[in-house]
């Protein structure tokens, strides 16, 4: 069961709960309007080996992050190879198809802004571009190609923002050293997924343990901090909306 902390802040496992299943695709929806968010969502897409699935965005942007596996994403029929630690931007109204040659699952985090609601818009996969349609700008951002930027004793790398075409959200990967930073808050909604390390997510005076696969929702202006209780850095991927800089925060003191 999800752990609910102060102010609708919640912590849930990446594959916790019952998924929706269609055409070899399993979808876990963890954050959305029904769980207290007003703008951003978080879901997990897991495509089984040798499967292809088609999805359609409504009037929202979508940013994806590959957690495991490799395969291809097709955006309006144009193919792009993906592997772990790759971000993908999908513009509003675009057709998205995923294909997984195997041998293991292809697992991605998905955040849509603004949240279109819980309906899963499945359609026939579009895996070749329609005649006369020009290709979109390159939609991929690879973590290892992004510059690490310091933020105090931490670092972050921005994957997707306005430079990729997003006007609504920012996607980043950040690292937190051992210890606990002061409580703070942001002027945006945020969803996180822990990639490595162990710690605790604090919301005011309440906390829950987090580790690889822990997904977190932080409402706008929710006082919080991520404590690293391990001996090495805690790494996470995050998406927040409205877009901005991951380095901007406000003291709760």
pLDDT tens digit string along 194-240? 999 999 999 999 999 999 999 999 999 999 999 999 999 999 999 99
Range of the domain at 27: 19-124
- Give the closest residue to 74 by CA, choosing from 99, 49, 110: 99
pLDDT tens digit string along 147-171? 999 988 899 999 999 999 999 999 9
- Give the closest residue to 122 by CA, choosing from 76, 56, 43, 75: 56
Same domain? For 95 and 45 the reply is yes
Has residue 98 got a pLDDT over 90?
A: yes
Task: Write out the two tokens for 209.
Answer: 């343990």
Q: How many domains does the chain have?
A: 2
Give domain status of residue 26, yes or no: yes
pLDDT tens digit string along 105-130? 999 999 999 999 998 989 999 999 98
pLDDT attached to residue 215: 98
Has residue 9 got a pLDDT over 90?
A: yes
pLDDT attached to residue 106: 98
Cα(60)–Cα(218) distance, rounded to whole angstroms? Answer: 20
Give domain status of residue 37, yes or no: yes
Task: Name the 3-class secondary structure at 141.
Answer: strand
pLDDT tens digit string along 179-198? 998 899 999 999 999 999 99
Same domain? For 118 and 174 the reply is no
Q: Which residue has the higher pLDDT, 97 or 245?
A: 97
Please give the order of strands across the beta sheet that includes 106-113: 20-22, 25-31, 42-47, 106-113, 61-68, 86-90, 140-142
pLDDT attached to residue 250: 74
Give domain status of residue 243, yes or no: yes
The residue with tokens 């929702």 is: 217
- The 10 Å Cβ neighbour count of residue 1 is 7
Has residue 172 got a pLDDT over 70?
A: yes
- Per-residue confidence band for 131, with pLDDT thresholds at 50, 70 and 90: confident
Distances (CA, A) of 241 to 39, 106, 160: 7, 26, 12
CATH number for position 45: 2.60.120.10
Give domain status of residue 71, yes or no: yes
Same domain? For 152 and 220 the reply is yes
Has residue 83 got a pLDDT over 80?
A: yes
pLDDT tens digit string along 55-69? 988 899 999 999 999
- Per-residue confidence band for 253, with pLDDT thresholds at 50, 70 and 90: low
Mean pLDDT of 3-14: 94
pLDDT tens digit string along 12-55? 999 999 999 998 999 999 999 999 999 999 999 999 999 999 99
Same domain? For 203 and 112 the reply is no
Q: Which of 90, 124, 158 delimits the end of a domain? A: 124
Give domain status of residue 6, yes or no: no
pLDDT attached to residue 153: 86
Same domain? For 179 and 118 the reply is no
For residue 74, what is the enclosing H or E element? strand 71-75
């Amino acid at each position: 069961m999800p752990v609910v902390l102060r102010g609708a802040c919640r912590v849930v496992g990446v594959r916790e709960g019952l998924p929706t299943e269609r055409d070899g695709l399993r979808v876990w929806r963890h954050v959305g309007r029904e769980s207290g968010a007003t703008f951003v969502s978080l879901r997990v897409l897991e495509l089984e080996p040798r499967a292809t699935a088609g999805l359609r965005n409504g009037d929202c942007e979508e940013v994806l992050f590959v957690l495991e596996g490799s395969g291809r994403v097709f955006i309006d029929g144009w193919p792009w190879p993906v592997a772990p630690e790759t971000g993908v931007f999908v513009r509003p109204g675009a057709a998205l198809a995923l294909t997984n040659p195997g041998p293991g699952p292809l697992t991605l985090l998905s955040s849509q802004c603004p949240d279109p609601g819980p309906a899963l818009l499945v359609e026939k996969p579009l895996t070749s571009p329609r005649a006369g349609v020009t290709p979109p700008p390159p939609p991929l951002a690879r973590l290892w190609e992004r510059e690490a930027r310091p933020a105090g004793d931490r670092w972050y790398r921005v994957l997707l923002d306005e430079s990729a075409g997003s006007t609504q959200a920012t996607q980043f990967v950040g690292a937190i050293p051992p210890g606990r930073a002061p409580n703070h808050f942001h002027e945006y909604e945020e969803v996180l997924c822990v990639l490595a390390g162990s710690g605790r997510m604090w919301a005011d005076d309440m906390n829950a343990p987090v580790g690889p696969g822990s997904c977190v929702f932080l409402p706008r202006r929710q006082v919080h901090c991520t404590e690293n209780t391990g001996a090495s850095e805690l790494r996470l991927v995050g998406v927040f909306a409205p877009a901005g800089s991951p380095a901007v925060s406000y003291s709760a003191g």
